[in-house]
């Protein structure tokens, strides 16, 4: 049995796996991509005994989110089951989630899944990875350039999706996140409140139908040290094309990304003179998980200054430890934030 969800990730029922794939019911899956120390993407070779797509190369690890599981716990479980790699939640990197729907003409099934994409940096040998009996026949690795140069015949060795242009771009994004990069971190600045108001006044005429324009993220918490990036949430009733709004935002020198953080979201950002992000605008639907997360965590930190102080000290500690590596900085605070998210959802989810 698996959980059936709606597009807002609410659980709306249960069904056997066979029924979910026969009827194309929306459910949750995870992919974990293992990245080698020399920046190659690891693919798992599906077992020759599998009914569906035997012998083809697929994600390093992947599977369904079981009943009662979170996507993160499913990713950690699948990674261990399918490769033998056991890691903490802070060691795995969440990239994004997206609804993918595909139809298999041979089996006449439809896979309609909200897929969560994770990555993990692996510094060992491929030969040391453990195979899951009956599921995998081994692992191989490819660089981005090798994947781009595959002939049509060579691509037949892979599941079609994992060598698509879309997934090549995903691999680029994964590798980019593992590049060491410096980030800017400062003590709390009261001017951030005014900075938010300036951005709000700048964009409010563009987003005239917005239900709310909110200051979110660390710069919205009094006293909290943070990267000097003003995060703004634009809450809309429902997601539309917003073509006019996008063009107007671009005219204000905002860069634009669609579905970057989550499905059905828009993201705009401006870049400072040193190439760093300075303003970050998130456009989300009113009842989306992202809106609930942004608002509930902000309100939790505001309601509990002692927890905000604890988080601020943790960030300062991580900044001193990883001043030139933003990925390690983020990973080192992931476990703390996961706990806060659970508490915030219980108290402030609205």
What is residue 195's predicted lDDT score, i.e. its pLDDT? 96
pLDDT digits (tens, 9 = 90+) for 131-159: 888 889 999 999 999 999 999 999 999 99
pLDDT, one tens digit per residue, over 84-101 is 999 988 788 888 888 888
Binning pLDDT at 50, 70 and 90, where does residue 271 land? confident
| Sole residue written with tokens 């697929």 | 58
pLDDT at residue 181 above 80? Answer: no
Choose among 315, 162, 286, 155: nearest CA to 214. 286
Task: Sort residue 275 into left (φ over 0), alpha (ψ -120 to 50) or beta.
Answer: left
CB atoms within 10 A of CB 161: 15
Which structural domains are found in the chain, ordered by start?
A: 2-177 (3.90.79.10), 191-348 (3.30.460.10)
pLDDT, tens digit, for every residue of 298-333?
999 999 999 999 999 999 999 899 888 877 888 788
- Which has the closest alpha carbon to 88: 338, 262, 287? 338
Residue spans of beta strands (DSSP E) within 152-285 = 212-216, 230-236, 255-258, 266-271, 277-285
First-last CA distance in the chain: 29
Q: Specify the residue for token string 């905002």.
A: 254
pLDDT at 124 over 80: yes
Are 158 and 43 in contact by the 8 Å Cβ rule? The answer is yes
In the chain, where do the E strands start and end? Answer: 2-5, 11-15, 27-36, 41-46, 57-58, 61-64, 93-104, 109-122, 136-142, 212-216, 230-236, 255-258, 266-271, 277-285
Rounded to 5 degrees, φ, ψ at 299 are -65, -35
d(CA 100, CA 291): 22
pTM for the structure as a whole: 0.64
| Average pLDDT across the chain, whole number | 90
As a whole number of angstroms, the distance between CA 2 and CA 45 comes to 25
């Amino acid at each position: 049995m698996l959980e059936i969800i709606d597009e807002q990730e609410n659980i709306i029922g249960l069904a056997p796996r066979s029924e979910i794939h026969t009827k194309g019911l929306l459910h949750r899956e995870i992919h974990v991509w293992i990245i080698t120390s020399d920046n190659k993407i690891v693919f798992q070779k599906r077992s020759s005994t599998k009914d569906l797509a035997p012998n083809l190369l697929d994600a390093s690890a992947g599977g369904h989110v079981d009943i009662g599981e979170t996507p993160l716990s499913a990713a950690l479980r699948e990674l261990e089951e399918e490769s033998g790699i056991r890691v903490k939640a802070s060691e795995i990197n969440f990239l994004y989630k997206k609804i993918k729907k595909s139809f298999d003409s041979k089996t006449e099934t439809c896979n309609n899944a909200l897929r969560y994409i994770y990555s993990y940096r692996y510094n060992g040998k491929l030969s040391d990875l453990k195979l899951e009996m009956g599921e995998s026949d081994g692992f191989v690795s490819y660089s981005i350039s090798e994947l781009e140069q595959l002939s049509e015949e060579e691509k037949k060795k892979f599941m079609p999706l994992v060598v698509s242009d879309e997934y090549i771009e995903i691999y680029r994004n994964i590798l980019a996140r593992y590049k060491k990069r410096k980030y800017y971190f400062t003590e709390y600045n009261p001017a951030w409140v005014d900075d938010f108001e300036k951005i709000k006044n700048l964009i409010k005429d563009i987003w005239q139908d917005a239900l709310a324009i909110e200051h979110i993220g660390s710069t919205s918490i009094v006293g909290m040290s943070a990267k000097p990036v003003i995060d703004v949430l634009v809450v809309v009733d429902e997601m539309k094309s917003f073509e006019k709004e996008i063009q107007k935002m671009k005219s204000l020198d905002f860069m634009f990304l669609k579905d970057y953080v989550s499905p059905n979201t828009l993201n705009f950002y401006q870049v400072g003179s040193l190439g760093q992000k300075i303003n970050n605008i998130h456009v989300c639907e009113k009842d989306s998980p992202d809106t609930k997360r942004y608002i509930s965590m902000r309100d939790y930190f505001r309601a509990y200054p002692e927890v905000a102080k604890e988080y601020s000290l943790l960030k300062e500690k991580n900044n001193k430890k990883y001043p030139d590596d933003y990925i390690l900085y983020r990973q080192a605070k992931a476990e703390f934030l996961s706990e806060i998210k659970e508490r915030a959802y219980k108290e402030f989810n609205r």
